Amino acid sequence: MRKKNILVLGGGGREHVLCWKLAQSEHLNKLHCIPGNAGIEKFAITSPHISITDFDSIKKYTEKHEIHYIVVGPEQPLVLGIKDFFEDSPVQVFGPDKDGAQLEGSKIFTKNFFSKNNIPTPAYHTFFTMDDALYHIRTTSLYPMVIKADGLAAGKGVFIAHNEEDAVSSIKEMMELKKFKEAGEKIIIEEFIEGNELSYQLIVKNGKVIELKPSQDFKKAYDNDKGPNTGGMGNMCPPSWMNPDILQMVKENIAYRLVDNLSLAGIQFNGVLFIGLMLTQQGPKALEINVRFGDPEIQSVFPLMRTDFIEILEAYFENQLDEIPIIWENKCSCCVVVASKGYPGSCMDLGHEIIGLDMAGKMKDVMIFHAGTKKVDGKIINSGGRVLNVVGFGKTSEEASKKAYEAVEKISFPGMHYRKDIK
Ligand code: GLY
> Which CATH number do you get for residue 56?
3.40.50.20
User: Which of 158, 185, 212 marks a domain boundary?
Assistant: 185
Q: Residue 421, CB half-sphere, CA atoms under 13 Å: how many?
A: 9
- Tell whether 36 and 139 lie within a shared domain: no
- Tell whether 154 and 226 lie within a shared domain: no
pLDDT in tens, 32-85: 999 999 999 999 999 999 999 999 999 999 999 999 999 999 999 999 999 999
- Tell whether 209 and 315 lie within a shared domain: yes
- Tell whether 31 and 137 lie within a shared domain: no
Residues in the chain: 423
Say yes or no to pLDDT of 347 above 80.
no
Q: Which CATH number belongs to the domain containing residue 167 in this structure?
A: 3.30.1490.20
Mutate to test the pocket of ligand 1, among 14, 76, 274 (most ligand atoms within 8 A of CB): 274
- Answer whether residue 104 is part of any domain: no
- Answer whether residue 26 is part of any domain: yes
- Packed helices 164-175 and 130-138: angle between N→C axes, nearest 10 degrees: 180
- Answer whether residue 213 is part of any domain: yes
CA distances from 179 to 76, 151, 232 (A): 18, 12, 20
The confidence score (pLDDT) of residue 228 equals: 87
Say yes or no to pLDDT of 141 above 80.
yes
Report the alpha-carbon angle 269-203-289, nearest 5: 60
Residue (of 332, 335, 334, 326) closest to 306 by Cα position: 326
Residue (of 233, 229, 385, 212) closest to 302 by Cα position: 212
Say yes or no to pLDDT of 217 above 90.
yes
H/E element, 259: helix 256-264
In angstroms, how far is the first alpha carbon of the chain from the final one? 40
Q: Which atom of ligand 1 is nearest to the CA of 155?
A: 5
Q: How far is Cα 72 from Cα 28, in angstroms, rounded to an integer?
A: 17
Q: Which residue range forms the structural domain that includes residue 137? A: 129-185
The proportion of the chain whose per-residue pLDDT surpasses 70, expressed as a percent, equals: 100
- Tell whether 341 and 284 lie within a shared domain: no
- Whether pTM > 0.85 for this model: the answer is yes
- Packed helices 309-317 and 13-23: angle between N→C axes, nearest 10 degrees: 90
- Tell whether 255 and 346 lie within a shared domain: no
- Answer whether residue 422 is part of any domain: no
Counts of helices then strands in the chain (DSSP H, E): 14, 22
- Answer whether residue 414 is part of any domain: no
- Answer whether residue 40 is part of any domain: yes
- Tell whether 309 and 199 lie within a shared domain: yes
Structural domains counted in the chain? 4
CB 46 within 8 A of CB 35: yes
CA distances from 208 to 99, 216, 252, 358 (A): 19, 24, 16, 41
- Tell whether 200 and 232 lie within a shared domain: yes
Mutate to test the pocket of ligand 1, among 295, 336, 369 (most ligand atoms within 8 A of CB): 295
Q: Which CATH number belongs to the domain containing residue 227 in this structure?
A: 3.30.470.20
Give distance in angstroms: CA of 71 to centre of ligand 1.
Answer: 17
For residue 154, name the pLDDT band (cuts at 50, 70, 90).
confident
The full DSSP string for 208-227 is EEEEPPPBEE--EEEGGGEE
- Tell whether 264 and 298 lie within a shared domain: yes
For residue 208, name the pLDDT band (cuts at 50, 70, 90).
very high
State CA 239 to chain mean position distance: 17
CB 78 within 8 A of CB 58: no
- Tell whether 69 and 16 lie within a shared domain: yes
User: Which of 185, 204, 226 marks a domain boundary?
Assistant: 185
CB 146 within 8 A of CB 191: yes
Which residue puts its alpha carbon closest to atom 3 of ligand 1? 294
